[in-house]
């Protein structure tokens, strides 16, 4: 996947997360916010699934594109299942049971179908169909449970963060074949206006009316904030922004641990991160991934050697022109 396709897909993944939030909120009976975090190294190698903690695997098989798999640790899966039970006046559990797995498999199926419907409404060329949904337990110490779902070919991982109105936060990993990701990146084009030919005439008309209304309001507000002898220059120079300091954050990797293990950490404890030693690290600006690189030594400090730029270069070049 090219850097441009990756950028397009990140927009698509976030749009899918927003749509999925609606289904999850309705299912759990409270407000839920799901956000796309980042593309991550796949946990599905050529022969097995790699996990650090016991987890739940829910797989939706998509016709012609293979499996779309959701991996969530048992702790987070149990918390979500208990939220569902609380909303329905049922007794909560202290460990994940088979009925809880079935509940989450049902939730996953509803979410996947709602997202697919959203995609197909955005562009009629995005024809996708879920043919089967299944779930199973993944045991870190049981190799037999770590067999790959049927149809996994060149899988790619995606990280998502879920947050509920009751304060629950959880990490979810989704794996799917790059064939599906490439298809979505090329078909939906980031869900920009030019990619929305599949919308009905009524929807398009409603959007146009909304845009026209917003434009009218903006014009009136603009008139109230300018005097007769003032004009607004749409191409105003942004050169002053060149001197604004911005914090860069370098991420070596991440790890999830049960609280009981965190409480036992002492000086000398080693924590394994989710990034192999030979993979580049991520560079963020205001939580936005902008580049990847190699860790180097610069005098007595750590530094980063950029090996890949990430993002929409057209936008950055446009901003650079305004700052000249």
Using the Cα atoms of residue 140, residue 166, residue 288 and residue 122 in order, give the sign of their dihedral: positive
Each domain of the chain, given as residue ranges in start order, spans 3-195, 239-322
Give, for all 324 residues of the chain, the pLDDT tens digit. 566 666 667 778 888 888 888 888 888 888 888 888 888 888 887 688 988 888 989 888 888 888 888 898 888 888 888 888 888 888 888 888 888 888 888 888 788 888 888 878 877 777 888 888 888 889 988 989 999 888 888 888 888 888 888 888 888 888 888 888 888 877 776 454 333 333 333 333 444 444 344 433 444 444 444 444 444 454 455 555 566 677 888 888 888 888 888 999 998 889 988 888 888 888 888 777 888 899 998 888 888 999 888 754 444 555 455 455
CATH of domain 3-195: 3.40.1550.10
- Determine whether domain 239-322 maps to CATH 2.30.330.10: yes
| Single pTM value for the model | 0.57
Q: For the sheet containing 301-309, what is the strand order?
A: 248-251, 281-285, 288-298, 301-309
299 Rama class: left (phi>0) / alpha (psi -120 to 50) / beta: left
The CA distance from 112 to 110, in Å, is 6
């Amino acid at each position: 996947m090219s850097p441009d396709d990756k950028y397009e897909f990140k927009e698509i993944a976030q749009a899918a997360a927003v749509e999925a939030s609606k289904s999850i909120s309705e299912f759990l009976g409270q407000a839920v916010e799901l956000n796309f975090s980042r593309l991550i190294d796949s946990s599905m190698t050529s022969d097995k699934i790699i996990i650090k903690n016991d987890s739940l695997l829910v797989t939706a098989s998509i016709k012609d594109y293979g499996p779309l798999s959701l991996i969530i640790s048992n702790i987070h899966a149990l918390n979500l299942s208990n939220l569902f039970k609380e909303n329905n006046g049922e007794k909560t559990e202290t460990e994940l049971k088979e009925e809880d797995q079935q509940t989450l498999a049902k939730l996953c199926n509803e979410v996947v179908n709602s997202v697919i419907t959203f995609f197909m409404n955005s562009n009629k060329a995005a024809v996708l169909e879920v043919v089967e949904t299944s779930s199973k337990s993944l045991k870190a110490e049981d190799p037999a449970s770590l067999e790959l779902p049927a149809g996994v070919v060149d899988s790619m991982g995606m990280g998502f963060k879920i947050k509920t109105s009751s304060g629950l936060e959880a990490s979810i990993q989704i794996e799917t074949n790059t064939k599906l990701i490439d298809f979505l990146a090329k078909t939906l084009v980031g869900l920009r206006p030019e990619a929305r030919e599949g919308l009905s005439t009524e929807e398009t008309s409603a959007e146009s009316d909304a845009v026209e209304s917003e434009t009218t309001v903006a014009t009136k507000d603009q008139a109230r904030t300018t005097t007769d002898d003032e004009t607004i220059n749409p191409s105003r120079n942004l050169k002053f922004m060149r001197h604004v300091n911005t914090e860069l954050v370098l991420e070596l990797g991440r790890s999830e641990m049960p609280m009981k293990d965190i409480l036992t950490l002492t000086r000398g404890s080693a924590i394994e991160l989710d990034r192999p030693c030979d993979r580049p690290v991520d560079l963020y600006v205001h939580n936005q991934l902008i580049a990847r690189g190699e860790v180097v030594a610069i005098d007595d400090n750590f530094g980063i050697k950029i090996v890949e730029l990430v993002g929409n270069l057209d936008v950055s070049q446009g901003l650079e022109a305004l700052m000249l």
